[in-house]
Amino acid sequence: MKTKYDVISIGDPVIDSFLFVDDIEVKKIGKDLKAIINWGDKLPVQKFFKSVAGNASNNAIGSSRLGLKAAYFCIVGDDVGGREIKHRMAKEGVSTEYIHFDKTHGTNYHTVLSHEGERTIFVYHEHRKYHVPKFAPSKWVYLTSMPQGFQEIYPGLAKYLDSNKVKLAFNPGTYQLKAGIKVNKPMLERTDVLSVNVEEAQRWVGDCNRDPEELCIRLRKLGPKAIALTDGRRGAYSHSDEGFFYIPEFPGKRVEATGAGDSFTTAYVAALIYGKSHAEALQWGPVNAGSVVLFVGPLQGLLSRHQIEERLSKMPRFKAVPITDLKTKARILKLVAKKKD
């Protein structure tokens, strides 16, 4: 079947406002890091930045930058923010034929509090009523963060995936993760690549003593053919019929981390679309993420295919490590345990 697109991204877009604040104390309380501020004070903001964002919009733009024919299905408010999102997609070469305006509810907004390269996000999402449009044939669908009621699109999306033999990359968002395995079963059974971080995996399949291989095995039992498992600055893993692999984060400094996970998965899936193996895809992900964290916001650092391949050619030793025995696994886990969060 002739396809019109390489990937159709599905999910909620937002307008992100970034606040860079120095006057914050971060403490570990129990197992969690907590940000402490003086309540009632006026906190000085060192820098302010605004950007189109959202997991799906980051994927759509990132896929287009990587040379893929990308389309974006979303609903935005019929307001300044909504028009800004549609304009940015068109500017980036992403098809806007599936972007719809909601005349009742406004555009989603996030406020990102950034401190020493890490961030906490305050989330405001409007209620949406999603219905699957008549999509043109595509090689892949990238499904990610959607609002409450997201499951309403699953029957129509499942029918589209099945009838057109479309591959699915699933990067569940907050509401999808909270809803649990049973609600997401129609998608999990059709997923070619499930991308989650370690904490998200634990929410669905248990703690597993933080063993990445066991987490991946349990996730694959839910239906996905392959797992891309990220662990922040500790690196990432790939688990598929091709084997179990580990790769560290791409070396370099970090300015701001918003969009790092999206850029990783975007490059991973793009590599597969270009016919690369899962081990090669695991190389692409950290390179893209390593570039995004050099800039404020999720879009400025997104790379082209040529840029990723060029950076990899300059670092021939940056390759996915196959984990084929207990000795190798123990060595990797010992190395990972020493890395900074």
Convert the pLDDT of each residue in 275-319 to its tens digit: 999 999 999 999 999 999 998 888 899 999 999 999 999 999 999
Convert the pLDDT of each residue in 55-109 to its tens digit: 999 999 999 999 999 999 999 999 999 999 999 999 999 999 999 999 999 998 8
pTM for this model (two decimals): 0.90
Number of domains in the chain: 1
Q: In this structure, are residues 140 and 115 in contact, taking their beta carbons and an 8 Å threshold?
A: no
For residue 197, give every residue at least 6 positions away whose Cβ sits within 8 Å of its Cβ, in sequence order, or none.
229, 230, 231, 232, 261
The DSSP code for 95 is B
Convert the pLDDT of each residue in 5-48 to its tens digit: 999 999 999 998 889 888 888 888 887 889 888 888 888 898 88
Domain-located, residue 126: no
What order do you get walking across the sheet with 167-170 strand by strand?
99-102, 70-77, 5-10, 138-143, 167-170, 191-197, 227-230, 236-240, 243-247, 321-322
Tell me the CATH number at 242: 3.40.1190.20
Please tell me the predicted confidence (pLDDT) of residue 55: 94
Domain-located, residue 50: no
Convert the pLDDT of each residue in 112-147 to its tens digit: 888 887 778 888 888 888 889 999 999 999 999 998
Convert the pLDDT of each residue in 231-271 to its tens digit: 999 999 999 999 999 999 998 888 888 889 999 999 999 99
Q: How confident is the model at residue 341 (pLDDT cuts 50, 70, 90)?
A: low
Domain-located, residue 20: no
Domain-located, residue 109: no
Domain-located, residue 85: yes
b/e 127-143 (16+ beta carbons within 10 angstroms → b): ebebebeebeebbbbbb
Residue 333, token pair as written in the block: 């886990």
Domain-located, residue 183: yes
Q: What angle do CA 197, 201, 202 make, to 5 degrees?
A: 120
| Torsion, Cα of 209, 212, 215, 219 (10° steps) | 170
Give first-to-last CA distance, the chain, whole Å. Answer: 45
Backbone angles phi, psi at 48, to 5 degrees: -130, 140
Indicate whether 209 pLDDT > 80.
yes
* Between 322 and 339, the higher pLDDT residue: 322
Give 13-56 as a 3 state SS string.
CEEEEEEECCCCEEEEECCEEEEECCCCCCCCCCEEEEEEECHH
Please tell me the predicted confidence (pLDDT) of residue 318: 95
Domain-located, residue 146: yes
Q: How confident is the model at residue 154 (pLDDT cuts 50, 70, 90)?
A: very high
Report d(CA 236, CA 228) in Å as an integer. 7
Cα→Cα distances 239→211, 248, 265, 289, Å: 13, 15, 14, 19
Domain-located, residue 179: yes
Residues spanned by the domain of 298: 5-12+55-104+132-337
Q: For residue 11, give the 3-state DSSP assignment.
A: coil
